[in-house]
Amino acid sequence: MNISIIIPVYNKAEYLESCLKSLLTQAFSDFEIVCVDDGSTDASGDICDRMASDDSRIRVLHTDNGGVTAARRRGWEACQGRYVMFVDADDGLLPGALQMMYDTIEREGADEVIATFRTHDGLQSPVVYEGFVEPEPLIRDIITSKNRFPVLWSIIFRREKLSGVFDTPREIIEGEDKLMQVKLLMRQPRVFFIAQPAYIYTLGVPNSRRHSLQREHLYDQLLRKVLAPRMADYQSAFVLHQLKEYERFIHDGVFSARDYYRTSLPALPAGIPLYDRLVFALPPVLARPVVRLYRKLIQFKQKGL
């Protein structure tokens, strides 16, 4: 088996059939689809079972709800492919994606190949990197939320390289994909970028995730542990990650976040941008309009992705 496609599934009945059809119509032949039904309460599990009964390339694992990282781990443990791709149940693959990704990772001898993507309404993601790229700038981009490249989907991985990256606790329901990729990148894999799109990303899918200060505190602890072997190299990037999360809390009116971040960041290291220093220095009630204005300017400048 050459490629295993792992799909964590939780209450995505509206999108699931379209997702699976985008995989089953790939011209590449040697692949399997491992759907992990993570305790869905809608018809998602039934859709997986029905489509699996019609196509032997689909296997379905039904589990109690354990969160997306646990679902991906369960799929990885059960899969048989030399290479692994992750696809979210509300997304899909573009025609020819599997063949392109397989050919590239075989030709280049990479540990992971990262492609670009398109949104469901046709918007093309930017080409940020091409060819082999060292892990260090990628780690900095990811932890400071400056990455404009995929961090988990639209990527093909060597299966064995994913060992040990699935230990994020279920309390982390946002940014868990970034944490997985940073864990992998800290091992210095060979990462190869291609400009061609492989993935269809569906914008605007509703979710119930809420930005929680308690959850962010836990995330900081986990990220700090992952970066610990080279924390001196990534200290400024880690602090900038914290500042960006603080700004997000201030944008949302959660002014109580100030106490946690003031304790966590008694002093800012060199290299922190002036804007972030200013927001952190201002009282939250004054910082909020600054953050809101800045975000509007950034959205206008980017005009999409």
* Strands 191-201 vs 92-93: parallel, antiparallel or unpaired: antiparallel
Q: Tell me: the pLDDT tens digits for 120-173? A: 888 999 999 999 999 999 999 999 999 999 999 999 999 999 999 999 999 999
Q: How confident is the model at residue 175 (pLDDT cuts 50, 70, 90)?
A: very high
Range 282-296 average pLDDT: 95
- The reported pLDDT for the residue numbered 136 is 98
Range 196-217 average pLDDT: 85
Average model confidence (pLDDT) across the chain: 95
- The reported pLDDT for the residue numbered 301 is 67
**pTM for the whole thing?**
0.93
- The reported pLDDT for the residue numbered 208 is 62
Q: Tell me: the pLDDT tens digits for 230-244? A: 999 999 999 999 999
- The reported pLDDT for the residue numbered 303 is 61
Q: Where are the domains of the chain?
A: 3-201, 213-302
What CA–CA distance (Å, rounded) separates 199 from 255? 38
The burial class, CB within 10 Å (0-12 / 13-18 / 19+), for 2 is middle
Q: Tell me: the pLDDT tens digits for 6-55? A: 999 999 999 999 999 999 999 999 999 999 999 999 999 999 999 999 99
Q: Are 224 and 231 in contact (CB under 8 A)?
A: yes
CATH number of the domain located at residue range(s) 3-201 in this protein: 3.90.550.10
